[in-house]
Amino acid sequence: MTKTVKEYIRTIADFPHEGIMFRDVTTLFADARGFRMAIDQLLHAYAGMPIDKVVGLEARGFILGGAIAHQLSTGFVPIRKKGKLPGPVISEAYQLEYGEAVMEIHDDALKPGERVLIVDDLLATGGTAEAGIKLCQRLGAEVIGCAFVIDLPELGGRARLENLGMDVHALSAFDGA
């Protein structure tokens, strides 16, 4: 019997602090069959759509996005936490449950009219993904979709991104935070 992507993901209780059920995708990435399955399934939702660049959100989105960009024979663009990119950047602040964070992209990473797919491992509240969407749009790119391995529906990220007009695709969903 073939495992699902969800079955490759382990849950670690009380990490990074008590009450959190951490969904660990490193077990998925470490298994060749599971990793290939995840990449294929993320791509399947966008089969036949023209994609000029894949944008990965720090940090696990780099792993997924790099593999997807390779499969599509297209470029990969990282969106990083503030202060991590070496060249001129544009920034987008977003709210965390305990404060604010800032994401950045090189100011020449995307060209107006390019069609991009945003990729990350986890969709929780949607704040990081929304910041990524806004950065891409500020550079004139068209975000054709947002793809995730895991959705935590109770935290409202999918609804938040769909309210922005985004197509959201997730391979699995877990209850709770």
Summarised one tens digit per residue, pLDDT across range 139-173 is 999 999 999 999 999 999 999 999 999 999 999 99
**From the candidate CATH numbers 3.40.50.2020, 3.40.50.150, 3.40.50.360, 1.10.3720.10, the one assigned to the domain spanning 48-173:** 3.40.50.2020
Cα separation, 163 vs 36, whole angstroms: 31
- Its pTM stands at 0.96
Q: Which residues are identified as catalytic?
A: 60, 97
* Rg of the chain in Å (alpha carbons): 16
Q: What CA–CA distances, in Å, run from 126 to 51, 67, 156, 175?
A: 22, 22, 7, 16
pLDDT at 60: 97
Count of alpha carbons within 13 Å of 175, Cβ hemisphere only? 0
Domain boundaries, the chain: 48-173
Q: Between 60-72 and 32-44, two packed helices, what is the crossing angle to 10 degrees?
A: 70
pLDDT at 99: 81
Summarised one tens digit per residue, pLDDT across range 7-63 is 999 999 999 989 999 999 999 999 999 999 999 999 999 999 999 999 999 999 999
